[in-house]
Amino acid sequence: MKHLIIVIIVGLVLSPLTMLAQTGTAISEKQFSSELDAYVQQSMQAIPEIPSVAMVVVKNDKPIFMRAYGLANKEAGTKADVNTLYYIASSTKSYMALAAALLDREGKVKLNDPMTKYAPGVTFKTPIPEKVTIKDLLTHTSSLRNSPLVWRLAYTGEVDDQDILRVVADGTTYDDQNYGKYVYANLGYNIYGVLLKRSLGKKWQDVLQEKVFAPLALKQTTAYVSKARAAKLSVAESYLFSPETGTIIRSPIAKLDNNMQSAGGIYTSIADLSRWLRINMNDGKLDGKQLIPADVMRSVHTGYADTVRDSPPFTGNGKYGLGWQIGKYRDENVIYHHGGYAGWSSHVSYLPDKKIGVAVMINESTAGGRIGHLLATYAYDRWLGTETAENYAKQMTDIAEQYGKMKQAQIASFRSRASRTSQLTKPLADYAGRYSNDLLGNLDISVEQNTLAVRMGNIHVVSTPFTEKESIRVEMNPGQGEVIKFEVSGAGKINSLTYAGVNFTRVVR
C-alpha cells in the first residue's frame, strides 16, 4: 500500500558521526555497528513520534547488526526487541510469490496457466481471457481491476468466503489495452489468495506456513494475528500522527485475522527477517543447507515486467520479478520490496552483487516510511563508503524544516475543517441506519459525539462537516478525506447515500 503521508526525517547535527570517513573508505564491523547505532538513536531523538525501530543488516551469511529501539507498545511501556513482531504490509508479496513459485514447481498451481483454470464454478461477469495467467497476477500485469475486493480484504474485513467469491466474479473487470503493462496494485495477489482456497482447498495463510515459514524455520512469522497473540509473542502496536491532537495516536485501523490479506498479511520479527534476507541473498541456502531449490529462488528474482519507480530511495527504470522490485541504488543492483499501512512501515532490500541486505520495521506510518528508507541507505552508504556524514547531516537538516511544516499544515487544515458548519438539514437520527452496496458491503451510520459516526467492518470513524448540502467528510483511511453525500427524496426521506462514487441503499433504519 502507498504511505498515507510522505514525510522526510527531521534533522539534527550528528556530532558523534563526524568521524565518518570519506567515500571509498573501508570500515570494520565494530565501527559500522557503533556508528549505525548512534545514527538510529539520533534519528529517533529527532523524530520523537517514532515509537520503535527494529533493524538488521546482513553481510554474506550472517547479521552484522541487529537491534531494536524504543517501545513496541507506548501505552503499556513495552520495549521492542529483536523478537518483537511487526506488520510488514506489502513486503508480504515476496513471501507469497515464493510460495507460488514452489507450487508451480510441484505442478499444483502453474504460473503460466490461465487464472480462470483455478476458479472452478466462478462465472466472471466480465469475461477474463485465457491469456491472463497466474504470473500476470503476481507481476501486476493482468490489467484486472476490482477495488471492492481490495477494500474488503485489506481494510473492512468483510470476507465471508461465499461473499468474496461473488465480489470476485461480479466486481472484476478487464482492460485489454493495458494487458501486459505493469501497474502496481494489491489485486493480483488478492485474487491469487482466493484462487488457492478455490483450487487447493487451503487458505493462503496456511500455504505460507507450509511452504515458506516452516521450512525456513521462521518461528516468529505468521499470517494470523490471533495465533501470534495466543502464543503470547511480543506484538508491536501501530501509531500515526493525529492533526486533531497534534500527537501520535494508536492507528484507528487495527490488523485482525479478517483483514490480513495475501498482498499484505504477515507479522514477523527482525530476527526472522535476518533469516529471510540470508535465504534470498544466498539462492535458498542457510547455514550451508539448501532449504529452497536454487532455481526457484532465481525465478523469483528474475525481472518479468518493466517498471519505472519515482519514489525514493530506489528510483528509475527497473523490473518486477515475483514479489520483488529489481532496480539500482547508485551503481549497484538492488532487489527490494517495501510495505506501508496505517501505523506501519517496512523496508526490505539487498544488494545481490555486494551480498549485503537491510531490513527496517517501524510501528508508525506518518514519518516511519521515509525514516526506514533513510536508515537503510545510510547503512549501505556507510558500509560501501559511498557517502559522507556531512551529506547525511545536511539531508537531515533540510528535511527537518519540511517535516515541521507538514505537521503544522495538517493541524491548520484540521482546524479549518472543524470550524465548518454542518450542512445536514435534518435531525442526526434521521440519517442513522445501515446502507448496503452489493460489492463494497455494509456502511453503518450512527450518532456519536453530537455528529455522525461511520462504520464499515473493522473501520470506525467520526465525521466532520463538509461544504455541500447533506454531506459529511470522513477519513476511512487516515489522511485520505472522502465525502459521504446523503440523497434526500422529494418526500424528505433518506433512502440512499453515495460514498467513493458508489451508491449505497438504505436497508435498516
CATH of the domain at 488: 2.40.128.50
Cis peptide before 313 (omega within 30 of 0): yes
Q: What pLDDT score does 47 carry?
A: 85
* Ramachandran category for residue 284: left, alpha or beta (phi over 0 → left; psi -120 to 50 → alpha): left
The mean pLDDT of 139-157, rounded to a whole number, is: 98
Q: Which domain holds residue 391?
A: 15-94+223-406
Please report which confidence band the pLDDT of residue 18 belongs to, taking 50, 70 and 90 as the band edges.
very low
What are residue 69's DSSP bridge partners? 53
User: Both 399 and 257 in a single domain?
Assistant: yes
Cell output for 21: 570517513
Percent of the chain with pLDDT over 90: 85
Q: Is residue 217 part of a domain?
A: no
- Lookup result for grid cell 500476470: 136
Q: What pLDDT score does 254 carry?
A: 93
Q: What pLDDT score does 20 carry?
A: 41
| 39-79 per-position pLDDT tens digit | 999 889 888 889 999 999 999 999 999 999 999 999 999 99
Cα–Cα distance, 401 to 399 (Å, whole number): 5
Residue 6 has pLDDT above 60, yes or no: no
- Dihedral angle of Cα 406, 408, 414, 417, to the nearest 10 degrees: -100
Percent of the chain with pLDDT over 70: 94
User: Both 107 and 77 in a single domain?
Assistant: no
Are 87 and 331 in contact, with CB atoms under 8 Å apart?
Answer: no
Cα–Cα distance, 12 to 388 (Å, whole number): 15
> DSSP letters of 132-149?
-BHHHHHTT-S-EE-HHH
Residue 30 has pLDDT above 80, yes or no: yes
Q: How much is the pTM?
A: 0.93
User: Both 383 and 439 in a single domain?
Assistant: no
User: Both 87 and 124 in a single domain?
Assistant: no
Q: Is residue 484 part of a domain?
A: yes
Diameter over CA atoms, the chain = 79
Q: What pLDDT score does 91 carry?
A: 98
DSSP state of 258: G
| 464-503 per-position pLDDT tens digit | 999 999 999 999 999 999 999 999 998 889 999 999 899 9
Q: Which is more confident, 301 or 9?
A: 301
Cα–Cα distance, 278 to 216 (Å, whole number): 11
Q: What average pLDDT is seen over the chain? A: 92
Residue 24 has pLDDT above 70, yes or no: no
Q: What pLDDT score does 25 carry?
A: 57
Q: Which is more confident, 10 or 166?
A: 166
The mean pLDDT of 92-120, rounded to a whole number, is: 98
- Dihedral angle of Cα 28, 30, 33, 35, to the nearest 10 degrees: -80
The mean pLDDT of 21-44, rounded to a whole number, is: 82
User: Both 72 and 130 in a single domain?
Assistant: no
Residue 17 has pLDDT above 70, yes or no: no
| CATH code where residue 55 lies | 3.40.710.10
The last residue of one of the domains, among 372, 406, 440, is: 406
Burial class of residue 22, CB neighbours in 10 A (0-12, 13-18, 19+): exposed
The mean pLDDT of 301-309, rounded to a whole number, is: 97
Q: Is residue 132 part of a domain?
A: yes
Among 78-82, 366-370, 390-394, the minimum mean pLDDT is found in: 390-394
| 213-261 per-position pLDDT tens digit | 999 999 999 999 999 999 999 999 999 999 999 999 999 999 999 999 9
User: Both 147 and 166 in a single domain?
Assistant: yes
CA-wise closest residue to 361 among 373, 382, 346, 374 = 346
Are 46 and 398 in contact, with CB atoms under 8 Å apart?
Answer: no
Q: Are strands 356-362 and 344-351 parallel, antiparallel or unpaired?
A: antiparallel
User: Both 59 and 104 in a single domain?
Assistant: no
- Lookup result for grid cell 515486467: 305
Cα–Cα distance, 280 to 173 (Å, whole number): 35
Residue 435 has pLDDT above 60, yes or no: yes
User: Both 80 and 110 in a single domain?
Assistant: no
User: Both 326 and 261 in a single domain?
Assistant: yes
User: Both 388 and 490 in a single domain?
Assistant: no
| 322-379 per-position pLDDT tens digit | 999 999 999 999 999 999 999 999 999 999 999 999 999 999 999 999 899 999 999 9
User: Both 237 and 336 in a single domain?
Assistant: yes
| 182-220 per-position pLDDT tens digit | 999 999 999 999 999 999 999 999 999 999 999 999 999
